[in-house]
Amino acid sequence: MSMPVSTRKTPMPSQPPGERIRNFSEVALGYTEEMARQEAERCLQCKKAPCRQGCPVEIDIPAFIGRIKEGDFAGAIEKVKEKNNLPAICGRVCPQENQCEKYCTLAKKGEPVGIGRLERFVADYQLSQGEVEPPALATPTGFRVAVIGSGPAGLTAAADLARMGHQVTVFEALHVPGGVLMYGIPEFRLPKEIVQREIDYIRRLGVEIRTNSVVGKMVTVDELLESGFDAVFIGTGAGLPYFMGIPGENLLGVYSANEFLTRTNLMKAYLFPEYLTPIKVGRRVAVIGAGNVAMDAARTALRLGAEKSMIVYRRSAEEMPARKEEVEHAEEEGVEFHLLTSPVEIHGDEAGWVTGMTCIRYELGEPDASGRRRPVAIPGSEYRMEVDTVVIAIGQGPNPLVLQTTPGLELTKKGTIAADEETGATSREGVFAGGDIVTGAATVILAMGAGKKAARAIDAYLRQKGEKGNG
Amino acid sequence: MYPIVKKRILAPGIKLLEVKAPDVARKAQAGQFIILRIDEPGERIPLTIADFNREEGTITTIFQEVGYTTWHLGQLEEGDALLDFVGPLGRPTEIENYGRVVCVGGGVGVAPIYPIARALKEAGNEVISIIGARSRELLILEEEMRKVSHELLVSTDDGSYGHKGFVTDLLVRVLQEKKVDRVWGIGPVVMMKAVSEATRPFGVPTIVSMNPIMVDGTGMCGACRVSVGGETKFGCVDGPEFDGHQVDWDLAVQRLRMYRDEEARAQAFHQEKRGGCQCR
């Protein structure tokens, strides 16, 4: 090695904060070819490749980075796609700092290789080259698999199963596929055109996607099994918003984060009235919670015209579940953090519109079941916070529609599906599950990892069932 | 795409569309609803199912033109198609033989009451139906309702047809004369509230069908919150039918006003684009 390795990642070019809070365009602009090659040079190509153990979808990370180094971008994306069918999405939204990059040898002395940024670069490179050709598929097996939900878990399972030669049909309740990638994660973090292009690729693998199809209402899991599907994968996600149960939560101007983001992202309320779905954003917006969804909501509120956007969280900065990068972006954009405080009541005017909240201050006590220090309310510390919009982003539970209509499907105490961690197998034969419907609200990449494992288990299950003629 | 196979104008501003959606029709039951989107920039709106035909694979919806989207829907003709049409959503009406039931429909609410009355009659109930409208020309489905009821009573606010007054006047009269086992009331929120208040002193269980603002209709967004017996419920997955005696009506009225300003803006913007305002 002639050149010393830089201890810092090649910086990601991005829209300046002052500019970007006035638009919904992507914040991080992506590496140029030069930047990508420069960053790839930092990779030590470790023989043991510790980074790989941090990747839920098992990408051969040194191999794809090695190809970038050589300028073989097409070869690099091919390598990524051996394992990951949604690289342009993962490169943008994976929490790499807790995964591959956490284990990078360079991380011991400085910043790790920007693996996520490089993944995004090669994925975008391929998309910029026009139609993406699908790889050769395995010989058709004649088996049919129904996938319920077209979010990260479902799409990954569908793509892998298709590549294994099975005939896959995806059932999606909404009018576009993508699940949380479309309704939840904002355009400025994950452009919807990118999501749809990745999904187009999955369609070209032979996967059929049926939108407007609510399993549990239009058709049940049992009816799918009776009508010729040999296995079912349930990836319906965490689609039931939690509220706090405090007075005033049904006032006008109180949204669940799901509703706030769905109106904006899926229904494009930021283009109202050209697009017909409205959204109401006041001057002062409080977002309750401090996860990634809360950061998305707080940053969205600014772009929708709020003068002040505030995160209200009952623990301290250290316990915030959001990715560091998301918190930093929110801070740069001027989101205020009101920590160790939480609302106990929301107030409204005579017509029912939110006018403010009574909050109470907290201090941190002993660690609780989650290992984080338990927030304890300080008696008598109530104070009033003037707000006109409140977004509740304290988490989501499992959507009940499929669960209620599938007899014999065992659930956990939390109401999620009880499924084997390694295979996704449920208490029902031929029915597998993965993603947030099993784990509770988690991340895109964990859901994809679960989809991948389930696809492998479904493949094994079908093959042990024996041969099947085509159709 | 979901083609419109039949269109009828039932009354000024009240239209019927029969839409081809075989997967929805196969499962549709009385009391459920669908969500549709006309075109790409369109909003998702819930409409209660007024009828279904499993053989033809069609769903009938009846709606009143109250905002831009319902006005636009009313401009479509047979042969046009809707971009999205999803359902059946919500819990179906709990149909069983209760004995004697009264089905009250007000305005365009007569449409969803129709399949409920039919199913209740088929289940062996004695069905007394009461339908009403502001005036005779706004009264819909009279003949259809007559066929699925043992007795049909009609009221109009202006007295142009039937009893002059409200459906609740007739309801109270029935409750005074006969033992009634259950009442359904569907119509504008104020009417459903009045029906619930009318039956309360008689202690007759009363079911109403809430029509809150929705986005996805599958429990995902929580826009459709309804307070029932002091508990927050989601209209889309827990309803749309609830115990009328337990509903917080003031909240329901309030929440329907959430986007009134925006609706006016959207209407002005799009009708201008389509060449002149056509509001009536």
Separation CA A272–CA A259 (nearest Å): 16
C-alpha closest to that of A52 among A120, A108, A89, A104: A104
Neighboring chain A residues of B24 at a CB cutoff of 8 Å: 218
In a shared domain, residues B85 and B113: no
Q: Is B29 on the interface with A (CB under 8 A)?
A: no
Name the phi and psi angles at A184, rounded to 5.
-100, -60
- Residue B178: which CATH number? 3.40.50.80
A396 → chain B, closest CA residue: B220
Asked if A175 and B86 come within 8 Å (Cβ–Cβ), the reply is yes
Question: Would B237 be classed as within a structural domain?
Answer: no
Asked if B85 and A183 come within 8 Å (Cβ–Cβ), the reply is no
In a shared domain, residues B79 and B124: no
Q: What contacts A185, CB < 8 A, 6 or more positions away?
A: A93, A261, A265, A296, A444
In a shared domain, residues B199 and B98: yes
Average pLDDT over residues A401-427: 95
In a shared domain, residues B154 and B175: yes
DSSP symbol at A90: H
Name the pLDDT band for A454 (thresholds 50, 70, 90). very high
In a shared domain, residues B34 and B61: yes
DSSP symbol at A43: -
Q: Is B76 helix (H, G, I), strand (E, B) or coil?
A: coil
Question: Would B112 be classed as within a structural domain?
Answer: yes
pLDDT above 50 (res A259): yes
Separation CA B190–CA B136 (nearest Å): 20
pLDDT at A112: 96
Cβ atoms of B73 and B30 closer than 8 Å = no
Question: For chains A and B, what is the number of CB pairs under 8 angstroms?
Answer: 121
Of A173, A211, A252, the CB nearest to B218: A173
pLDDT at B280: 45
Q: What confidence tens digit (pLDDT) does each residue in A203-228 have?
A: 999 999 999 999 999 999 999 999 99
- Residue B56: which CATH number? 2.40.30.10
Of B219, B223, B251, the CB nearest to A401: B219
Dihedral of the CA atoms A332, A334, A339, A345 (nearest 10)? -150
Q: Is A341 helix (H, G, I), strand (E, B) or coil?
A: strand
Q: Is the peptide bond before A321 cis (omega within 30 degrees of 0)?
A: no
Question: Would B180 be classed as within a structural domain?
Answer: yes
First-to-last alpha carbon distance for chain B, in angstroms, is 30
Neighboring chain A residues of B237 at a CB cutoff of 8 Å: 400-401
Tally: H helices and E strands in chain B: 9, 16
In a shared domain, residues B7 and B36: yes
Of B83, B89, B215, the CB nearest to A259: B215
Can you give the residue range of the structural domain that contains B67? 2-89
Asked if B41 and A219 come within 8 Å (Cβ–Cβ), the reply is no
Q: What confidence tens digit (pLDDT) does each residue in A101-119 have?
A: 999 999 998 999 999 999 9
Instruction: Find the radius of gyration of the CA atoms of chain A.
Output: 23
Neighboring chain A residues of B41 at a CB cutoff of 8 Å: 268, 271, 274-276
Separation CA B233–CA A33 (nearest Å): 52
Name the phi and psi angles at B49, rounded to 5.
-75, 125
Tokens of A275: 């697009």
Q: Is B83 on the interface with A (CB under 8 A)?
A: yes
Separation CA B19–CA B26 (nearest Å): 13
Question: Would B118 be classed as within a structural domain?
Answer: yes
Neighboring chain B residues of A224 at a CB cutoff of 8 Å: none
Q: Is B271 on the interface with A (CB under 8 A)?
A: no
pLDDT above 50 (res A1): no
Of A218, A239, A280, the CB nearest to B258: A280
Asked if B84 and A212 come within 8 Å (Cβ–Cβ), the reply is yes
Where among B89, B115, B145 does a domain terminate? B89
In a shared domain, residues B114 and B176: yes
pLDDT at B89: 97
Cβ atoms of A263 and A303 closer than 8 Å = no
Torsional class of A113: left (φ above 0), alpha (ψ -120 to 50), beta (otherwise):
beta
Where among B89, B113, B128 does a domain terminate? B89
Of A214, A262, A399, the CB nearest to B86: A214
pLDDT above 60 (res A469): no
**pTM: predicted TM-score of the whole model, two decimal places:** 0.94
Amino acid at B18: E
In a shared domain, residues B162 and B126: yes
Name the phi and psi angles at B107, rounded to 5.
60, -130
In a shared domain, residues B21 and B57: yes
Question: Other CB atoms closer than 10 Å to residue A311's CB: what's the count?
Answer: 27
Q: Is B237 on the interface with A (CB under 8 A)?
A: yes
Q: Is B189 on the interface with A (CB under 8 A)?
A: no
Q: Is B211 on the interface with A (CB under 8 A)?
A: no
Cβ atoms of A279 and A263 closer than 8 Å = yes
B231 → chain A, closest CA residue: A245
Name the pLDDT band for A130 (thresholds 50, 70, 90). confident
B residues 105-144 lying closer than 8 A (beta carbon) to A: none
pLDDT at A57: 86
Name the phi and psi angles at A165, rounded to 5.
100, 5
Question: Would B224 be classed as within a structural domain?
Answer: no
Q: What confidence tens digit (pLDDT) does each residue in A438-449 have?
A: 998 888 889 999
Of A240, A250, A263, the CB nearest to B232: A250
Q: Is B213 on the interface with A (CB under 8 A)?
A: no
In a shared domain, residues B66 and B98: no
Cβ atoms of A217 and A317 closer than 8 Å = no
Torsional class of A435: left (φ above 0), alpha (ψ -120 to 50), beta (otherwise):
left
What ipTM was estimated for this complex? 0.94
Q: What confidence tens digit (pLDDT) does each residue in B251-267 have?
A: 999 999 999 999 999 98
In Å, how far from its chain's centre is CA B218? 18
C-alpha closest to that of B170 among B144, B213, B133: B133
Question: Would B106 be classed as within a structural domain?
Answer: yes
In a shared domain, residues B49 and B98: no
Q: What confidence tens digit (pLDDT) does each residue in B177-226 have?
A: 999 999 999 999 999 999 999 999 999 999 999 999 999 999 999 999 99
Burial environment of residue A317 by CB neighbours within 10 A (0 to 12, 13 to 18, 19 or more)? exposed
Separation CA A298–CA A338 (nearest Å): 12
A contact test, residue of B45, B221, B234 with most A CBs within 10 A? B221
Q: What confidence tens digit (pLDDT) does each residue in A342-382 have?
A: 999 999 999 999 999 999 999 999 888 888 889 999 999 99
pLDDT above 50 (res A194): yes
Neighboring chain B residues of A213 at a CB cutoff of 8 Å: 23, 86
Question: Would B166 be classed as within a structural domain?
Answer: yes
Number of folded domains in chain B? 2
State chain B's mean pLDDT as an integer: 95
In Å, how far from its chain's centre is CA B134? 16
| H or E element in which residue B227 lies | strand B225-228
Asked if B43 and A262 come within 8 Å (Cβ–Cβ), the reply is no
**Looking at CA atoms only, how far is residue B272 from chain A in angstroms?**
12
Neighboring chain A residues of B219 at a CB cutoff of 8 Å: 239-240, 399-401
Cβ atoms of B51 and B32 closer than 8 Å = no
In a shared domain, residues B177 and B193: yes
Name the phi and psi angles at A355, rounded to 5.
-120, -20
Separation CA B143–CA B152 (nearest Å): 10
pLDDT at A56: 87
Asked if B23 and A352 come within 8 Å (Cβ–Cβ), the reply is no
Where among B158, B187, B206 does a domain terminate? B206
pLDDT above 50 (res A95): yes
Name the phi and psi angles at A172, rounded to 5.
-120, 130
pLDDT above 70 (res A257): yes
Report chain A residues touching chain B, CB-CB < 8 A: 173-175, 183, 211-214, 217-219, 239-241, 243, 249-250, 252, 255-256, 258-259, 262-263, 267-268, 271-278, 280, 351-352, 399-401
pLDDT at A251: 97
pLDDT above 70 (res B278): no
State chain A's mean pLDDT as an integer: 94
Q: Is B27 on the interface with A (CB under 8 A)?
A: yes
Asked if A399 and B218 come within 8 Å (Cβ–Cβ), the reply is yes
Tokens of A299: 């940053």
Separation CA A216–CA A249 (nearest Å): 29
Neighboring chain B residues of A175 at a CB cutoff of 8 Å: 37, 44, 83-84, 86
Separation CA A309–CA B46 (nearest Å): 32
Neighboring chain B residues of A214 at a CB cutoff of 8 Å: 86-87, 89, 218
Neighboring chain B residues of A400 at a CB cutoff of 8 Å: 219, 237
DSSP symbol at B230: T
Tokens of B52: 């279904």
Question: Would B238 be classed as within a structural domain?
Answer: no
A348 → chain B, closest CA residue: B254
Q: What confidence tens digit (pLDDT) does each residue in A9-33 have?
A: 999 999 999 999 999 999 999 999 9
Q: What confidence tens digit (pLDDT) does each residue in B60-109 have?
A: 999 999 989 999 999 999 999 999 999 999 999 999 999 999 999 999 99
Tokens of B102: 């009264």
